[in-house]
Amino acid sequence: MRKRTREIAMELLYQSTMNEKNIEELVDDYFEDNHEDLREDTDIKYLEEVLNGVNEKREELDSIIEKYLVNWKIQRVSKINLSILRLSAYEILFMQGIPENVSIFEAVEIAKKYSDETSGAFINGVLDKIAHQEKGLA
């Protein structure tokens, strides 16, 4: 259930970069548009926590992400990849009970599904640096 909910979270984070709707409207619209059957198979508590958390900490997350982009500015990162990075960086830095390696693995899998073939390695590299340097993991 969490895996699919992460994908939904990424999709909604992506949508939030494209329009001015608030998180509640995005979630309601998502489930109204042919996905109502997914609502009971979705971890709504996690979904709302991560969407609201990323929204509240977007500037801080973007600053941290940009710190680990090698020869890139955050504006050059595709909106899909940025949504994946924000989601997973939030999990790594601010959520308890989710192992960093799980967040990174799931982010890479989402990138393989929704982005181009090189995105998985790119996302893995950035998130690994965040996990090790921001959280001080060995």
Span 117-128, pLDDT tens digits: 899 999 999 999
51-to-19, 54, 82, 116 alpha-carbon distances in Å: 15, 5, 14, 24
Question: For the whole model, what pTM was predicted?
Answer: 0.91
What pLDDT is attached to residue 117?
84
For 28-59, give one letter per residue: b (16+ CB within 10 A) or e.
eebbeeeeeeeeeebbeebbebbbebbbebee
Task: Write down the number of H helices and E strands in the chain.
Answer: 7, 0
pLDDT digits (tens, 9 = 90+) for 29-61: 887 875 666 667 788 889 989 999 999 999 999
CA–CA distance, 77 with 83 (Å, rounded to integer): 10
Mean pLDDT of the chain: 89
More confident residue, 18 or 130: 130
